[in-house]
Amino acid sequence: MGVRMDKSILILLSGGIDSAVMLWAARAGGYTVHAMHVGYGQPAGGVELNACRDLAEEGGVRLWTIHTQMPSMDAMCAAPGLAGPRVVHARNAVLLSLATSLAVDLDCPEVWIGCNAADRADYPDCGKSFINSMSEASYYATDGKVRVRAPLLDVSKREIVRQAKALGVPLERCWSCYTPQEGKACGTCDSCRVLDSARAAVG
Protein backbone atom coordinates (compact mmCIF):
# COMPACT_ATOMS: atom_id res chain seq x y z
CA MET A 1 0.00 0.00 0.00
CA GLY A 2 1.64 3.20 -1.12
CA VAL A 3 1.51 6.15 1.24
CA ARG A 4 2.68 9.74 1.06
CA MET A 5 4.37 11.58 3.88
CA ASP A 6 3.06 15.10 3.48
CA LYS A 7 -0.17 15.29 5.47
CA SER A 8 -2.62 14.08 8.09
CA ILE A 9 -5.32 11.51 7.46
CA LEU A 10 -8.46 10.29 9.20
CA ILE A 11 -8.99 6.52 9.22
CA LEU A 12 -12.40 4.94 9.69
CA LEU A 13 -11.51 2.35 12.32
CA SER A 14 -13.85 -0.61 12.67
CA GLY A 15 -11.72 -2.68 15.02
CA GLY A 16 -11.09 -5.25 12.29
CA ILE A 17 -7.90 -6.29 10.54
CA ASP A 18 -8.51 -4.17 7.42
CA SER A 19 -8.65 -0.81 9.15
CA ALA A 20 -5.89 -1.86 11.57
CA VAL A 21 -3.58 -2.56 8.63
CA MET A 22 -4.33 0.89 7.22
CA LEU A 23 -3.50 2.47 10.58
CA TRP A 24 -0.18 0.65 10.94
CA ALA A 25 0.78 1.27 7.29
CA ALA A 26 -0.04 4.97 7.59
CA ARG A 27 2.05 5.31 10.73
CA ALA A 28 4.93 3.48 9.04
CA GLY A 29 4.60 5.86 6.10
CA GLY A 30 5.01 8.94 8.25
CA TYR A 31 1.44 10.21 8.30
CA THR A 32 -0.10 12.03 11.22
CA VAL A 33 -3.03 9.70 11.87
CA HIS A 34 -6.42 10.30 13.44
CA ALA A 35 -8.95 7.50 13.88
CA MET A 36 -12.73 7.53 14.05
CA HIS A 37 -15.17 4.78 15.02
CA VAL A 38 -18.91 4.90 14.39
CA GLY A 39 -21.40 2.92 16.42
CA TYR A 40 -24.56 2.60 14.32
CA GLY A 41 -26.52 -0.04 16.23
CA GLN A 42 -24.51 -3.07 15.10
CA PRO A 43 -24.71 -6.15 17.38
CA ALA A 44 -20.93 -6.19 17.79
CA GLY A 45 -20.77 -2.47 18.51
CA GLY A 46 -19.49 -2.73 22.06
CA VAL A 47 -16.79 -5.27 21.22
CA GLU A 48 -15.77 -3.30 18.13
CA LEU A 49 -15.43 -0.11 20.15
CA ASN A 50 -13.22 -1.87 22.71
CA ALA A 51 -11.05 -3.21 19.88
CA CYS A 52 -10.78 0.29 18.39
CA ARG A 53 -9.74 1.72 21.73
CA ASP A 54 -7.07 -0.97 22.11
CA LEU A 55 -5.77 -0.44 18.57
CA ALA A 56 -5.72 3.33 18.93
CA GLU A 57 -3.85 3.08 22.22
CA GLU A 58 -1.36 0.58 20.81
CA GLY A 59 -0.95 2.65 17.66
CA GLY A 60 -0.54 5.91 19.55
CA VAL A 61 -3.39 7.75 17.80
CA ARG A 62 -6.41 9.64 19.07
CA LEU A 63 -9.75 7.89 18.61
CA TRP A 64 -12.88 9.89 17.88
CA THR A 65 -16.20 8.13 18.47
CA ILE A 66 -19.64 8.89 17.04
CA HIS A 67 -22.88 7.10 17.85
CA THR A 68 -25.87 7.05 15.53
CA GLN A 69 -28.53 4.58 14.39
CA MET A 70 -28.92 3.19 10.89
CA PRO A 71 -32.56 2.52 9.91
CA SER A 72 -31.91 -0.53 7.71
CA MET A 73 -30.49 -3.06 10.18
CA ASP A 74 -32.42 -6.30 9.54
CA ALA A 75 -29.49 -8.08 7.85
CA MET A 76 -26.97 -6.95 10.45
CA CYS A 77 -29.23 -8.21 13.23
CA ALA A 78 -29.73 -11.65 11.65
CA ALA A 79 -29.38 -14.75 13.80
CA PRO A 80 -25.94 -15.20 15.39
CA GLY A 81 -23.53 -17.17 13.23
CA LEU A 82 -25.82 -17.12 10.20
CA ALA A 83 -23.95 -17.28 6.89
CA GLY A 84 -24.39 -14.58 4.27
CA PRO A 85 -23.51 -10.89 3.92
CA ARG A 86 -24.76 -8.30 6.39
CA VAL A 87 -25.83 -5.59 3.94
CA VAL A 88 -26.80 -2.33 5.63
CA HIS A 89 -27.90 -0.12 2.77
CA ALA A 90 -25.75 2.99 2.24
CA ARG A 91 -23.83 2.34 5.46
CA ASN A 92 -20.50 3.47 4.03
CA ALA A 93 -22.09 6.60 2.59
CA VAL A 94 -23.22 7.52 6.11
CA LEU A 95 -19.89 6.63 7.73
CA LEU A 96 -17.87 8.52 5.15
CA SER A 97 -20.11 11.58 5.39
CA LEU A 98 -19.56 11.71 9.14
CA ALA A 99 -15.83 11.17 8.71
CA THR A 100 -15.61 13.85 6.02
CA SER A 101 -17.18 16.38 8.35
CA LEU A 102 -14.71 15.55 11.12
CA ALA A 103 -11.79 15.55 8.68
CA VAL A 104 -12.42 19.21 7.87
CA ASP A 105 -12.17 20.14 11.55
CA LEU A 106 -8.98 18.07 11.92
CA ASP A 107 -7.42 19.51 8.75
CA CYS A 108 -7.14 16.02 7.23
CA PRO A 109 -7.26 16.14 3.41
CA GLU A 110 -8.03 12.41 3.17
CA VAL A 111 -10.38 9.94 4.81
CA TRP A 112 -9.36 6.28 4.50
CA ILE A 113 -11.81 3.37 4.56
CA GLY A 114 -10.87 -0.32 4.61
CA CYS A 115 -12.93 -1.62 1.67
CA ASN A 116 -11.08 -4.50 0.00
CA ALA A 117 -11.37 -7.11 -2.73
CA ALA A 118 -13.24 -9.55 -0.49
CA ASP A 119 -16.06 -7.04 0.06
CA ARG A 120 -16.96 -6.11 -3.50
CA ALA A 121 -19.17 -9.05 -4.46
CA ASP A 122 -21.64 -8.54 -1.61
CA TYR A 123 -21.41 -4.87 -0.69
CA PRO A 124 -22.18 -2.29 -3.41
CA ASP A 125 -20.75 0.49 -1.24
CA CYS A 126 -17.32 -1.16 -1.22
CA GLY A 127 -16.63 -0.99 -4.96
CA LYS A 128 -14.47 1.36 -7.00
CA SER A 129 -17.41 3.26 -8.50
CA PHE A 130 -18.81 4.04 -5.06
CA ILE A 131 -15.45 5.08 -3.62
CA ASN A 132 -14.72 7.35 -6.57
CA SER A 133 -18.19 8.90 -6.39
CA MET A 134 -17.98 9.38 -2.63
CA SER A 135 -14.57 10.99 -2.99
CA GLU A 136 -15.99 13.44 -5.51
CA ALA A 137 -18.97 14.16 -3.27
CA SER A 138 -16.69 14.75 -0.27
CA TYR A 139 -14.47 17.03 -2.34
CA TYR A 140 -17.36 19.22 -3.46
CA ALA A 141 -19.11 19.12 -0.07
CA THR A 142 -15.98 20.50 1.61
CA ASP A 143 -15.00 23.04 -1.05
CA GLY A 144 -12.05 20.91 -2.10
CA LYS A 145 -10.72 20.13 1.38
CA VAL A 146 -11.30 16.36 1.68
CA ARG A 147 -11.05 13.30 -0.55
CA VAL A 148 -11.89 9.65 0.21
CA ARG A 149 -9.40 6.81 -0.35
CA ALA A 150 -9.65 3.03 -0.05
CA PRO A 151 -5.98 1.92 -0.08
CA LEU A 152 -6.93 -1.79 0.17
CA LEU A 153 -9.60 -1.72 -2.52
CA ASP A 154 -7.89 -4.27 -4.79
CA VAL A 155 -6.15 -6.23 -2.04
CA SER A 156 -7.22 -9.78 -1.11
CA LYS A 157 -7.89 -10.81 2.47
CA ARG A 158 -4.88 -13.13 2.36
CA GLU A 159 -2.63 -10.25 1.36
CA ILE A 160 -4.13 -8.11 4.12
CA VAL A 161 -3.23 -10.81 6.65
CA ARG A 162 0.31 -10.89 5.23
CA GLN A 163 0.58 -7.11 5.51
CA ALA A 164 -0.74 -7.24 9.07
CA LYS A 165 1.97 -9.67 10.08
CA ALA A 166 4.69 -7.72 8.28
CA LEU A 167 3.62 -4.47 9.91
CA GLY A 168 3.33 -5.97 13.39
CA VAL A 169 -0.41 -5.36 13.74
CA PRO A 170 -1.58 -6.85 17.07
CA LEU A 171 -4.06 -9.32 15.57
CA GLU A 172 -5.20 -10.43 19.01
CA ARG A 173 -6.62 -6.93 19.54
CA CYS A 174 -8.64 -6.91 16.30
CA TRP A 175 -12.31 -7.86 16.07
CA SER A 176 -14.11 -8.98 12.89
CA CYS A 177 -17.14 -11.08 13.94
CA TYR A 178 -20.61 -9.72 13.13
CA THR A 179 -22.38 -11.49 16.00
CA PRO A 180 -20.29 -12.14 19.10
CA GLN A 181 -21.42 -14.85 21.47
CA GLU A 182 -20.65 -14.16 25.13
CA GLY A 183 -17.77 -11.94 24.09
CA LYS A 184 -16.28 -14.46 21.66
CA ALA A 185 -16.34 -14.62 17.86
CA CYS A 186 -19.05 -16.93 16.51
CA GLY A 187 -16.68 -18.52 13.97
CA THR A 188 -19.44 -19.12 11.40
CA CYS A 189 -20.62 -15.74 10.08
CA ASP A 190 -19.17 -14.63 6.74
CA SER A 191 -16.71 -12.24 8.33
CA CYS A 192 -15.31 -14.94 10.62
CA ARG A 193 -15.10 -17.53 7.85
CA VAL A 194 -13.34 -15.26 5.34
CA LEU A 195 -10.77 -14.09 7.86
CA ASP A 196 -10.17 -17.59 9.31
CA SER A 197 -9.66 -18.96 5.80
CA ALA A 198 -7.17 -16.21 4.96
CA ARG A 199 -5.24 -16.67 8.17
CA ALA A 200 -5.08 -20.45 7.65
CA ALA A 201 -3.80 -19.95 4.09
CA VAL A 202 -1.11 -17.51 5.16
CA GLY A 203 -0.08 -19.56 8.17
pLDDT along the chain (203 residues), means of 10: 66 97 96 96 91 97 94 68 72 96 97 93 90 98 98 96 97 90 84 88 84
Would you state the pLDDT for residue 120?
83
Would you state the pLDDT for residue 82?
65
Nearest to 1 by CA among 186, 169, 177: 169
For the segment 24-51, what is each residue's pLDDT rounded down to a tens digit?
Answer: 999 999 999 999 999 998 888 999 999 9
pTM: 0.91
Would you state the pLDDT for residue 135?
98
CATH topology of domain 8-202: Rossmann fold (3.40.50)
CA 118 – CA 10 distance, rounded (Å): 23
CA 18 – CA 176 distance, rounded (Å): 9
CA 139 – CA 146 distance, rounded (Å): 5
